[in-house]
Amino acid sequence: MATTLTSMQGITKRFPGTLANDGIDLEIAPGVVHALLGENGAGKSTLMNILSGRYRPDAGEILIGGTPVRFHSPRDALRAGIGMVHQHFLLVANQTVAENVALGHKTPRTILCWSRIEDEVRRLSEAYRLPLDPRARIDELSLGQQQRVEILKLLYRQADILILDEPTAVLTPGEIDELFATLRRIAREGRSVIFITHKLEEVMEIADRITILRRGRRVADLTPADVENRRELARLMVGREVVLRVDRTPVAPGETVLELRSCSGQGDRGQRAFQRVSFAVRRGEIFAIVGVAGNGQRDLVAAITGSQRLSGGQLLVFGKPHGAGGPPPMDRIAYIPEDRAGTGSLPGLDLTDNLLLTTYPSFCRRGVFRREAARRWAEAQLDQFHVVAPSLTASARQLSGGNLQKLILARELSKGPDLIIAEQPTHGLDIGATMDVWDELLRQRARAGILLISGDLREALSLSDRIAVIFRGQLMGVFSTDDEDAIAEIGPMMAGVVQAS
Amino acid sequence: MRLTLERRLVPSQRAVWAGQTVAVLLAFAMGAAVLRLTGADPLAAYAVMAEGALGSLYNLSEVVVKAIPLMLCGLAVAVAARIQIWNIGGEGQLVLGGIGAAGVALFLSPHLPSAIVLPLMLAAGFLAGGLWALIPGFLRARLEVNEILTTLMLNYVAIFWLEHLYFGPWRDPMGMGFPGTAMFPDVAWLQRLPGTRIHLGLCFALLAALLLHWILSRTRWGYEIRVIGENPRAARYAGMRIDRHILWVMLVSGGLAGVAGMAEVSGIHYRLQQGLAVGYGYTGIIVGWLGRLHPGGILVVSLFIAGLLVGGDQLQAVMHLPSSVGLVLEGTLLFFVLGSDFLSRYRLRWRKEDPWTPRA
Amino acid sequence: MDAESLTFILSIAIRSSAAILFAAIGEVFTERSGVLNLGVEGMMLMGALSGFVAAHASHSLALGLLAAMAAGGALALVHGFFTITLRANQVVCGLALTILGIGLSSFLGRPIIGTVGMRFTPWPIPLLQDIPVLGPALFQQVPPIYAGYLLVPAAWLFLFHTRPGLNLRSVGENPQAADAAGIPVNLIRYGWTAFGGVMAGLGGAYLSLAYTPGWKENMSAGQGWIAIAMVIFALWNPWRAALGALLFGAVNALQFTFEVRQITLIPSYILRMLPYLFTVAILVIITRSKGIRRRAAAPAALGLPFEREGF
């Protein structure tokens, strides 16, 4: 067991376009459950990936017991006693628990006597009260059980520091309690547990120490005793958001284009994604749903656009019920997906082909393309939306993120839609492209109803007329963006501290 | 210092051209090494090959003759590849096309007005090849069975069936022990360019190339094919029916190979016999790929490869070296192009220290 | 059918299945590491040629086998280089290798067509050969076949009960996880790709030194391809690969028996088609069977090049 202090000093890490970690200091004491708190994009995962050997810092040092160490791979870190359980487990799905635990371990060297290994695994799982059947296949286990395997892997290798990245995201409340018990047990032995999260109530429950990151910087390092209430934590985490001056001319809202009545739906793993969501979007307004990623937004949008079914409630698009699977009338709906390169575009085809993806039928006459007309239309679109590209024949792959997004906007908005669903539309874009996208959305507001899904509070507040916070699949409150008191509560709402009013 | 690989955003055109030239040169160098192995003088051998392919107008025409089935089979592979389907069954589809055309020529032509015999044979060839490809196509579209193996297995089945036919029920009763069907009646012969063996099949190939190019770039169907091949998810999002498109593509692909079979049978052999399944289907894959799945490129590459094959034949006749040197050159050429392709997709870079930046 | 016929058919079945068995086992290992090698046919032919030539030149069957394995392995390493390091398309690369192998073997082998060279003679195993019905069929074969008997259980043991086997399986299923566990993913892929080529070469040598001794152009007649299909039928398991090879051999044996006994129940051309149609049928069954798909699907990372993320 380690009795040494591990510290990270002045860690800086840059990725193209962002400064993920900016001179962060962190000290990890043995026997402590240390929470690393922050919003999405605050830099928590990056920092821990550096500690666990997956990334290398651009500047800064890691010291174990005062001695600087350099990790070239996760294996180096493991050898030094530091291991990480990622959000996406690194398990071999069709192999057993025992096989996964044994993978990469030094002994036994050649012949694997499974019964012996299984016994060891069983012994370890009983000692830490992580009940697991060593013979069970990973893909037959629940996510909570799989997580136990990941933790067991680290314990099998006698890790001194265990890092868990958003571990409760995939757990039921009962499993969360079990996990916390296990983590306390591990810490009691003198090991350290680092717990990455954005959920405040968990932090208050399990953490012995709390470090808060915001936009790549460390903003606080304290113990639960130092914090008066969770509200304060939330403010530290989210900060005071500056609303950008954006011209929003008042528009009288028209008829309802999208309405959800008590809708519930499941995610792709069968877990409950969102429950009893109700809201309405009217023509002439921007309605924003803001929340930390992973709180059900993606599945909600999938249900609205028809790629997933609802498990309950009623979905009305332009007044007509939908939700039995199958797309709603897409010729009146513009969908700007989060996944630009994936569903949104055709990377290897040229810009004209991309623009035509959802509009090509109108350029075809009896099977033949009116190529010239299409090209002229494409040029006009690119012009109108200020898409900067090497040439018309360039492939979509060559566009920068911002220009690709503008291309998708051009394509979708050329339909003259009545309902626009924009999913994280400015994610990863620079300020210039962001303003362009915002301008366009505001322009569309006059004739369409816009549903904006965003994790960026500033964006939501600047653009929308009404805003709702989503947390754990439920809407925490719907209010107008003129309501200043309510606005102040948004941060805590996003962190699940405050209930719906 | 470390040599690292960086993915290029845009495949560099210059690198592609440079790479392909180097590839061709390297392939010939490899071929020279192989020739050395058998004690032959590589330069002399290449000279003979060049003479055989380019030495006279007639030799040049022979290159064109060999290029015709290669063009069609290359187009067949290309159209399937556009939708991300590997049609390895060109050989079998060609054979079926020959069988279909032969069937019409031998049994239906006496009863039909002469003007429609050849068009009917063309249709039969197309349909026979197309339907043969539709079997694995259906298995892939509806049952998601991998098409590489199914198309391949059907090649063998087709060849066995072919042999059975011309050794058995379709055998020429007056053939004097020579395996093969009777000769087709005159009406079933494709016209040739006088003085050469270049037959009307060349028009089929050129027409097919033009048609394919036009369809892919200027029709709705062609656009949908390209989108599905590029990003099936986006295609589904746009409401395209993927399985239906796969079926049509396989029909066309097999049909093109079938036309190649029909052309061989009624332009060169004038009967069904040994010498139909000589690997055009497989070589077509190389042609399609080297031609970058583009009809124009395919036409050029098929002439080049046909030149290699004809040169190889000449080598056999004059220097008594196996003609399969052509196959060797093909294989190595493909390899070197594969390698050069890599350079166009990735950049080699020297870096001062380990590149610890993630992929964007 | 009497016992003698049964023995006869079984004996032929085993004999006809050996080449496929070797190649299939090799390909099982290659694909388990995540690499698709479609060049098996070419490697088999080059193995057949090299084995025959080397044995003839050195008067040593053992040397012949070694040469064959080296030839197959060398070609496989080329495949590995292009697909693992250069990340080229695995399908095209494999096809190129097949064409190269066919062409090269045909070219280099022309002079020796018809040469009578070394051949394996059957080694009857005392005692075992006296077992009724099975004895003569199993234990009056040539040595490579006995090696095959040992190969199958050895492969199974290796795959599921040794650490290198565990590493191999993980690399093909989830190379990211294997990499995180410190396993050298690409090195393992190279190694097992080479092994696959070695086995294919061995299969080829069996053809030219035992099954149909001598060299004939294209003598494998697609068995390399059938071996690849058998790997799918085998669900990447050595025992089932052996079963698949044996089934193919049985079909072959049946065809042979029908021809010899002049049974015209099934025309011979259909008999010759049967192995290939049979392969298509099992491909359909395997792909469609949800139960099988869940229990033993293809290695999840098959055909995908491995690039380390992050850093």
Q: Do C104 and B37 touch (CB under 8 A)?
A: no
Q: Do B354 and A72 touch (CB under 8 A)?
A: yes
For residue B215, the chain A residue with the least C-alpha distance is A368
Q: Do A343 and B237 touch (CB under 8 A)?
A: yes
Q: Strand, helix or coil at A475?
A: strand
Burial class of A366 by CB neighbour count within 10 A (0 to 12, 13 to 18, 19+): exposed
Residue B351: inside a domain, yes or no? no
CA distance B276 to B128: 15
Candidates C82, C96, C110; nearest CB to B331:
C96
**Residue A258, strand partner residues:** A281, A317
> Chain C contact for A246, CB < 8 A?
no
> From the candidates B153, B289, B359, which should be mutated to test the interface with C, based on the most C CB atoms within 10 A?
B153
Question: Which pLDDT score is estimated for A162?
Answer: 95
Please check whether residue C34 is in contact with residue C255, taking contact to mean a CB–CB distance below 8 angstroms: no
Q: Do A90 and C174 touch (CB under 8 A)?
A: yes
Of the candidates A420, A378, A423, A382, which has an alpha carbon nearest to the alpha carbon of residue A403? Answer: A382
Among A128-132, A325-329, A340-344, B319-323, top mean pLDDT goes to A128-132
Q: Do C297 and A94 touch (CB under 8 A)?
A: yes
Please check whether residue B305 is in contact with residue B348, taking contact to mean a CB–CB distance below 8 angstroms: no
CA distance B208 to B228: 22
Question: Which pLDDT score is estimated for A30?
Answer: 92
Cα–Cα distances in angstroms (integers) from residue A221 to residues A59, A187, A199, A210, C255, in the given order: 21, 19, 16, 6, 80
Q: Residue C103 sits in a domain of what CATH number?
A: 1.10.3470
Average pLDDT over residues A92-108: 89
Residue B274: inside a domain, yes or no? yes
CA distance C184 to C188: 6
> From the candidates B4, B84, B217, B220, which should be mutated to test the interface with A, based on the most A CB atoms within 10 A?
B220
ipTM confidence score? 0.85
Candidates C162, C173, C297; nearest CB to A92:
C173
From chain B, the residues in CB contact with A367 under 8 A are 219-221
Domains detected in chain A: 6-238 (3.40.50.300), 242-332+419-501 (3.40.50.300), 348-415 (no CATH)
Going through A362-465 in order, the beta strands assigned E by DSSP cover: 364-365, 368-369, 419-423, 449-454
Q: Residue B316 sits in a domain of what CATH number?
A: 1.10.3470
From chain B, the residues in CB contact with C309 under 8 A are 358-359
Question: Which pLDDT score is estimated for B12?
Answer: 65
Question: Which pLDDT score is estimated for A461?
Answer: 83
Residue C300: inside a domain, yes or no? no
Residue C231: inside a domain, yes or no? yes
Question: Which pLDDT score is estimated for A255?
Answer: 87
CB atoms within 10 A of CB B308: 23
Question: Which pLDDT score is estimated for C254?
Answer: 82
Candidates C38, C91, C100; nearest CB to B328:
C100
Please check whether residue A276 is in contact with residue A263, taking contact to mean a CB–CB distance below 8 angstroms: yes
Distance from CA of B153 to the nearest CA of C (A): 5
Largest CA distance in chain C: 69
Residue C125: inside a domain, yes or no? yes
Sign of CA dihedral C294, C298, C302, C308: positive
Residues B142-153 have pLDDT tens digits of 888 888 889 988
Please check whether residue B306 is in contact with residue B323, taking contact to mean a CB–CB distance below 8 angstroms: no
Distance from CA of A146 to the nearest CA of B (A): 27
Residue C305: inside a domain, yes or no? no
Q: Do A345 and B234 touch (CB under 8 A)?
A: yes
Q: Do A110 and C170 touch (CB under 8 A)?
A: no
Q: Do A369 and B218 touch (CB under 8 A)?
A: yes
Cα–Cα distances in angstroms (integers) from residue B290 to residues A362, A374, B298, B310, B326, in the given order: 36, 31, 7, 19, 16
- The token pair at C172 is 């093909």
Residue C108: inside a domain, yes or no? yes
Distance from CA of B73 to the nearest CA of C (A): 16
> Chain C contact for A159, CB < 8 A?
no
Q: Strand, helix or coil at A221?
A: strand
Please check whether residue C89 is in contact with residue B84, taking contact to mean a CB–CB distance below 8 angstroms: no
Amino acid (1-letter code) at residue C227: A
> From the candidates B237, B294, B345, B353, which should be mutated to test the interface with A, based on the most A CB atoms within 10 A?
B237
Of the candidates B260, B155, B341, B70, which has an alpha carbon nearest to the alpha carbon of residue C41? Answer: B155
> From the candidates B4, B73, B152, which should be mutated to test the interface with C, based on the most C CB atoms within 10 A?
B152
User: What whole-number percentage of chain A has pLDDT above 70?
Assistant: 93
- The token pair at C90 is 């695995």
Distance from CA of C101 to the nearest CA of B (A): 8
Q: Do C166 and A112 touch (CB under 8 A)?
A: yes
What residues of chain A, 33 to 52, have a C-beta less than 8 Å from chain C?
49
For residue C89, the chain B residue with the least C-alpha distance is B338
Q: Do C177 and A92 touch (CB under 8 A)?
A: yes
From chain C, the residues in CB contact with A94 under 8 A are 173, 296-297, 300
CA distance A377 to A372: 9
CA distance A4 to A24: 20
Residues A356-366 have pLDDT tens digits of 888 888 888 87
Strands A33-37 and A192-197: parallel
- The token pair at A150 is 């990941």
From chain C, the residues in CB contact with A140 under 8 A are none
Domain that includes residue C175, residue range: 14-295
Q: Strand, helix or coil at A1?
A: coil
Pick out chain C residues at pLDDT < 70: 1, 263-264, 290-297, 307-311
From chain B, the residues in CB contact with C231 under 8 A are none
Burial class of A270 by CB neighbour count within 10 A (0 to 12, 13 to 18, 19+): exposed
Residues A77-93 have pLDDT tens digits of 988 999 999 888 899 98
Report chain C residues touching chain A, CB-CB < 8 A: 161-167, 169-170, 173-174, 176-178, 180-183, 296-297, 300, 310-311
The number of folded domains in chain C is: 1
**Residue A210, strand partner residues:** A35, A222
Candidates B149, B342, B358; nearest CB to C311:
B358
A396 secondary structure, DSSP code: G
Residue B338: inside a domain, yes or no? yes
B268 secondary structure, DSSP code: I
* Position A124 confidence tier, pLDDT thresholds 50, 70, 90: very high
CA A21 from centre of chain: 18
Candidates A90, A95, A110; nearest CB to C180:
A90
Q: Do A369 and B223 touch (CB under 8 A)?
A: yes
- pLDDT exceeds cutoff 80 at A242: no
From chain C, the residues in CB contact with A56 under 8 A are 311
Question: Which pLDDT score is estimated for A317?
Answer: 86
Q: Do A367 and B220 touch (CB under 8 A)?
A: yes
Residues A433-473 have pLDDT tens digits of 788 888 888 888 888 999 999 877 778 888 888 999 888 88
- The token pair at C42 is 């070419």
CA distance A403 to A434: 10
**Cβ partners under 8 Å of residue B113, min gap 6:** none
Q: Do C280 and B346 touch (CB under 8 A)?
A: no
Distance from CA of B1 to the nearest CA of A (A): 15
From chain A, the residues in CB contact with C297 under 8 A are 94
The number of folded domains in chain B is: 1
Amino acid (1-letter code) at residue A346: L
- pLDDT exceeds cutoff 80 at A431: no
Q: Do A346 and B231 touch (CB under 8 A)?
A: yes
> Per-block average pLDDT, block size 10, for chain B (360 residues)?
61 72 86 82 86 88 94 96 92 96 91 90 96 96 86 92 90 82 88 88 94 91 91 83 94 97 94 88 89 91 91 84 80 82 70 42
From chain C, the residues in CB contact with B290 under 8 A are none
CA distance C173 to A160: 29
Candidates C95, C267, C284; nearest CB to B145:
C284
SS3 of A149-215: the string is HHHHHHHHCCCCEEEEECHHHHCCHHHHHHHHHHHHHHHHCCCEEEEEECCHHHHHHHCCEEEEEEC
- The token pair at C106 is 């045909």
Distance from CA of A498 to the nearest CA of B (A): 36
- pLDDT exceeds cutoff 70 at A304: yes
Q: Do B34 and C87 touch (CB under 8 A)?
A: no
Question: Which pLDDT score is estimated for A91?
Answer: 93
Burial class of A124 by CB neighbour count within 10 A (0 to 12, 13 to 18, 19+): middle
**Cβ partners under 8 Å of residue C78, min gap 6:** B335, C97
> From the candidates C83, C92, C110, C277, which should be mutated to test the interface with B, based on the most B CB atoms within 10 A?
C92
SS3 of chain C: the string is CCHHHHHHHHHHHHHHHHHHHHHHHHHHHHHHCCCCCCCHHHHHHHHHHHHHHHHHHHCCHHHHHHHHHHHHHHHHHHHHHHHHHCCCCHHHHHHHHHHHHHHHHHHHHHHHCCCCCCCCCCCCCCCHHHCCCHHHHHHCCCHHHHHHHHHHHHHHHHHHHEHHHHHHHHHHHCHHHHHHCCCCHHHHHHHHHHHHHHHHHHHHHHHHHHHCCCCCCCCCCCHHHHHHHHHHHCCCCHHHHHHHHHHHHHHHHHHHHHHHCCCCCCCHHHHHHHHHHHHHHHHHHHHHCHHHHHHCCCCCCCCCCCCCCCC
For residue A113, the chain C residue with the least C-alpha distance is C161
CB atoms within 10 A of CB A225: 6
Candidates C163, C173, C177; nearest CB to A109:
C163
Domain that includes residue B134, residue range: 2-36+60-344
**Cβ partners under 8 Å of residue A127, min gap 6:** none
Element (H, E) at B129: helix B117-143
Amino acid (1-letter code) at residue A173: P
Q: In what order do the strands lie in the sheet with A6-15?
A: A18-28, A6-15, A59-64, A67-69
